[in-house]
A = this chain, B = another copy of it.
Amino acid sequence: MRIVITGGCGFLGRRLAIRLLQEGSALGAIDDLVLFDHAAPALPLPEDRRLAVVTGDIADRAAVARVIAPGTDAVYHLAAVVSAEAETDTDLGYRVNIDGTRAVLDACRALGSRPRVVFTSSLAVYGGDLPPAAGDLTPLTPQNSYGVTKAIGELLVTDYSRKGFIDGRALRLPTVVVRPGRPNRAATTFASSIIREPLCGQDAVCPVSPDMVMAVASPRAVVNGLMHALGIPGEAFGWSRALQLPGFSVSVGEMAEAVRRAGGAAAFARIKWQPDPLVAAIVGGVPRVLKAPRAEALGFTCDSGIDEVVQNFIEDDLPLQRQLAG
């Protein structure tokens, strides 16, 4: 089994790679695992002869076709320009998120073997007048370019799957909390920062008010979902290959209280509340509550709550995070 992960040096890609090497995939044992990314990995990867890293541009069709080479059984397409960056640099966002996705899908199609493709979409596909809870049946009127490019990716994955070019599935991820590493250019990056930094003894800025509710899932839950998604028969998806994954709803104030419970008053005091209207508009424009009955019926699960998420972070990431911070 040969699997390619685009954006494979990002934190989700890296964690997924480690899981695949340890456990194998839902489709079989791993012989070759290729991480494709625009930059070399910032975090350590396991020493494993099955693992290779290739750097290149996701919109470079020739480079993508070389990586998604004959013999590739499955592709995780995680590479993307994230929300705040896609909003300020439209051309870059379109190039990576649309042209890059088309390059990946066409390389998969060229294999002629209908490979499984797992594409990561986002809550940013929702926007505008939202129902109290959003999910698979919510009309998509995204209000930022990131969400637009992800909605387009979902349409492409569904069309290529319907035509038998690939066997794709597009997972709408909740906001992932706690991301390890450094803040990225996602508008939601603060939701990780306000947990991660205080537990490492650093200050973090929170640009939204404590009563802002977000629909989140831990890296563990999301990587579980990515692992699980590969094994589901394509026919199970029905009319659309897009699938809302489950997440749980928590206010930013409750996140801060979980930091206090895990790290004490000193940690809590390191959260600095400095409202930023641009961030608040993007974050406030995505659903606060998710309904994911279709994903739940397909066996996807989510975390029990914010305290479990914080404990997972402490177990999985805090030692390495402290090293980075030190």
Interface residues of A (CB under 8 A from B): 90, 94, 102, 127-129, 136-143, 145, 148, 151-152, 155-156, 158-159, 162-163, 165, 238-240
Chain A interface, DSSP helix/strand/loop, else mixed: loop
Q: Which residues of B contact A162 (CB under 8 A)?
A: 143
* Chain B residues, CB < 8 A from A129: 238-239
Q: By the criterion CB–CB under 8 Å, are B127 and A163 in contact?
A: no
Q: Give A115 to B129 CA distance when docked, in angstroms.
A: 26
**A152 in complex: contacting residue of B128, B137, B139, B155, CB < 8 Å:** B155
Shortest CB–CB separation between residue A37 and chain B, in angstroms? 26
Q: Is the beta-carbon distance between B127 and A141 smaller than 8 angstroms?
A: no
> A145: which of B102, B142, B145, B163 is its contact (CB, 8 Å)?
B163
Asked whether A139 and B140 contact (CB < 8 A) given A90-B163, A128-B240, the answer is yes
A-B pairs with beta carbons under 8 Å apart, 10 shown: A129-B238, A136-B139, A139-B139, A142-B155, A142-B159, A143-B162, A143-B239, A148-B159, A152-B155, A152-B156
Task: Give Cα A143–Cα B155 distance, bound, in whole angstroms.
Answer: 10
Please state if B139 and A148 are interface contacts (CB–CB under 8 Å).
no
Q: Which residues of B contact A139 (CB under 8 A)?
A: 136-140
Tell me if B137 and A148 are in contact (CB < 8 A): no
CA distance A223 to B206 in the complex (A): 52
CB distance from A86 to the nearest CB of B (A): 10
Knowing A127-B239, A128-B239, A239-B129, the reply to whether A148 touches B143 (Cβ < 8 A) is: no
Nearest neighbor of A152 in chain B, beta-carbon distance:
B152
Interface centre among A90, A94, A102, A239 (most CB of B within 10 A): A239
Residues of chain B within 8 A of A140, CB atoms compared? 139-140, 155
Residue of chain B at shortest CB distance from A163: B90
Please tell me which one of the listed residues B141, B158, B163 contacts residue A141 in the complex, with CB atoms under 8 A apart: B158
Contacting residues, chain B, for A90 (C-beta < 8 A): 163, 165
Interchain CA distance A173-B142 in the complex, whole Å: 22
Q: Is the CB of B145 within 8 A of A240?
A: no
Residues of B within 8 A of A128 (CB): 238-240
Complex contact A145–B158 (CB within 8 A): no
Residues of B within 8 Å of A137, CB to CB, are: 139
Q: Across the two chains, which residue of chain B brings its CB closest to A93?
A: B159
- The CA of A139 and the CA of B131, in the complex, are separated in Å by 13
Q: A109 CB to closest chain B CB, in angstroms? A: 9
Checking B141, B145, B156, B159 against A239 with a beta-carbon cut-off of 8 angstroms, the contacting residue is B141
Q: Which residue of B lies closest to A240 (CB)?
A: B141
**Nearest-CB residue, chain B, relative to A239:** B128
How long is the Cα–Cα vector from A126 to B262 in the complex, in angstroms?
49
Closest 5 pairs (CB-CB, A-B): A128-B239, A148-B159, A141-B239, A141-B240, A139-B139
Which chain B residues border A136 with CB–CB below 8 Å? 139
